Amino acid sequence: MDRKKKLLPLLRSILMWPIALMALLVFMNIYMYIIDIRAGVVASIFIIIYGGAFAVFYMVKRKRLTSDLVTFAVNYGTIQRRLSSELELPYALIDREGSILWADKSFIWLVGDKVKTRQPITDFFPELDESCIPEENSDREIYLDFGEKNFRVLLKDVAVEGLGSDSFWSSEKHTPADSEEGRLIAVYLYDETVINSLKREISDKETVVGLVYIDNYDEALDSVQEERRSFFAAMLGRRINKYFLNYEALIRQLEKDKYILVLQNRFLEELKETKFPILDELRSVNIGNEISATLSIGIGVNASGLNQSYEEARAAIDLALGRGGDQVVIRGGDQIEYFGGKSSSVEKNTRVKSRVKAQALREIMETKDRVLIMGHSVGDADSFGTGVGVYKIAASLNKEAHIVIGDSTGAYDVMLNRFKGNPEYPNMIVSPAEALEMCDNMTLVVVVDVNRPSHTECPELLERSRSVVVLDHHRQSGEAIENPALSYIEPSASSASEIITEIIQYIGTGVKLKQQDADAIFAGIMIDSNNFQAKTGIRTFEAAAFLRRSGADVVRIRKAFRTDMNEYMAKARAIANSEIFMDNYAFAECIATGLDSPTVIGAQIANELMDVSNMKASFVFTNYNNTIYVSARSIDEVNVQVIMEKLGGGGHMSVAGVQFSDCTVPEAMDRVKEVLRKMIEGGEL
């Protein structure tokens, strides 16, 4: 319509030019009469001849001109209709309710049926429902599959003058019902099947780099008789090489227990589908070795080149080892996938790592004026005990030190009260707000018993500090503290208190622990190891022996952590009302009303439920301060850390947890049950 409005004035102006020229000639003729009468007469004769010729031409050719214009318009409209109808791009017009008003032949051929007027487009493409209709004067793109083809669908809102709300177009008739303006949706279907196929082909042929480490090579080798060690090492190497050669991978040994892996992305997808059975195969190698070998694999994906893929692989293998090994981590930017992690972390008998970390911690502290120690939110005995250990190290170096504690849950108030107001520990406890005011360029922040920034007592403190040290025993997740000056994460340790005890012995500053110091650190080991029943090794008892020699008293600690009758009855009610899911999983709710430290009671309930025979894991749900706290426990059959990670949590293989703030306790239980059900059906449990 707009083009018609522009064309008619243009045509009219072209036809008016001879008349305008005649007026100009008449004006010129008058001027010529003034100059010379004879010249004026001659000019008048020619003007009369010109005017007569134009009049004859206009009268004779007018009908022919009109006929030619009509013929052109008809032919032009016919061509437009033909092009619209026979356009190779599937194209249709629908109203805002999704009813088809008109479709070209390609669209009709695509759907394989005769399109009826007012037929809903959802009959052919269910994805194109009312939610896909774009706003006025806007577009929307949707990707869908139809048969074996992939389409990019463009829905474009268009205004049509003369289209009423009750009118429609058919494939044979394009007549508007009235003069008002209506709005239609133009639907264009772009076939991207070939493009997507080429993209998949390119993606499949992309090269990814991986690193393969045998976690406990030395320990497993030492457990084999000396004459069989070379055979055992050869078997491990043969299993690894044979497995990856099945996927046309290039694998080369870098060191005795380290390999580099290069393979195509299409084979990586196959490995992910099978969930890397090489992890189980390597553990099954047994020629008399008392310790099974475990494998960690880190693979870098979605990289722009081999160098970046290698860097991603390095980050992935570090994460796999930081989570305890025996697993595969596939990393590409912010996307991380985990496989395996079924076995517990192998304890290292050597303390070389502790000594190296202790010396590094001392060197960092010596360059700072102040040390701020921060645990996780909703602190416990382990985070506080570790904080006390770091405080004593800083004090031995004559550094100002403070432990950052927010709202206390009452779980370790007896221990905490021994330090509050004690003149021997001036201003030891500070609030998060006070810590933020103290933090400057010469302040070191030591994070204990946690490695996820969002779970710390004061995440803002990490952003403000330039020097951060992490001491933790929890397995790492995708969320990590960025660029720490020192990171000592040992998943095989029973607790962070065990780690700080070893560091105290090697720090070389002559740290002298008082009774209350030793009690606080010893209590951290006791609570996190469930009275030395979970995740305890040789080094756990060695740390406990050192603290006992330093003045720790087990009886005094036990009295400090006795529960009152309300807490005892709450545990009894929760256990009595517990539910058994799929024969092997215990679910219980801890009622927080009237309890000083409900989350701690929930953890204790989860521990006690594991004393029931045939229980593979227990899950206790506590509603506290509008947040659902889930405590998960197991012994050795189920990795509760993997379960909790699928819900956004984390922890250890046998001790883990997660928090929900957007649901009720029954809904939280249903979420955990659904994850368990899927993992069991998928063979992960």
User: What is the pLDDT averaged over residues 468-477?
Assistant: 85
Name the pLDDT band for 167 (thresholds 50, 70, 90): very low
Cα 519 from Cα 417, distance rounded (Å): 13
Name the pLDDT band for 206 (thresholds 50, 70, 90): confident
Nearest C-alpha neighbor of 590 from the set 574, 611, 613, 603: 574
**Long-range CB contacts for residues 299-302, cutoff 8 Å, separation at least 24:** 299/208, 299/209, 299/210, 299/211, 299/261, 299/268, 299/328, 299/329, 299/330, 299/331, 300/208, 300/209, 300/210, 300/331, 300/332, 301/208, 301/265, 301/268, 301/330, 301/331, 301/332, 302/332, 302/333, 302/335
pLDDT at 170 over 50: no
User: What is the pLDDT averaged over residues 216-225?
Assistant: 86
User: What is the pLDDT averaged over residues 457-478?
Assistant: 86
pLDDT of residue 385: 92
Name the pLDDT band for 65 (thresholds 50, 70, 90): low
Nearest C-alpha neighbor of 472 from the set 464, 463, 484: 484
- Give the CATH number of domain 91-198: 3.30.450
Summarised one tens digit per residue, pLDDT across range 377-404 is 878 889 999 999 999 999 999 999 999 9
pLDDT at 222 over 70: yes
pLDDT of residue 593: 82
Which residue did the predictor score with more confidence, 304 or 576? 576
Among 3.40.1080.10, 3.10.310.30, 3.20.170.30, 3.40.50.1980, what is the CATH number of 565-681?
Answer: 3.10.310.30
Q: Where are the domains of the chain?
A: 2-85, 91-198, 210-340, 352-560, 565-681
Name the pLDDT band for 562 (thresholds 50, 70, 90): confident
* Average pLDDT of the residues of the chain: 83
Summarised one tens digit per residue, pLDDT across range 614-625 is 899 999 999 988
- Give the CATH number of domain 210-340: 3.30.70.270
Measuring CA to CA, how many Å separate 434 from each of 154, 315, 403, 470, 604? 56, 35, 11, 21, 33
Which residue did the predictor score with more confidence, 239 or 70? 239
Among 3.10.20.30, 3.40.228.10, 3.90.1640.10, 3.60.15.10, what is the CATH number of 352-560?
Answer: 3.90.1640.10
Name the pLDDT band for 220 (thresholds 50, 70, 90): confident
Summarised one tens digit per residue, pLDDT across range 416-451 is 888 888 888 888 999 999 999 999 889 999 999 988
Cα 329 from Cα 549, distance rounded (Å): 42
pLDDT at 30 over 80: yes
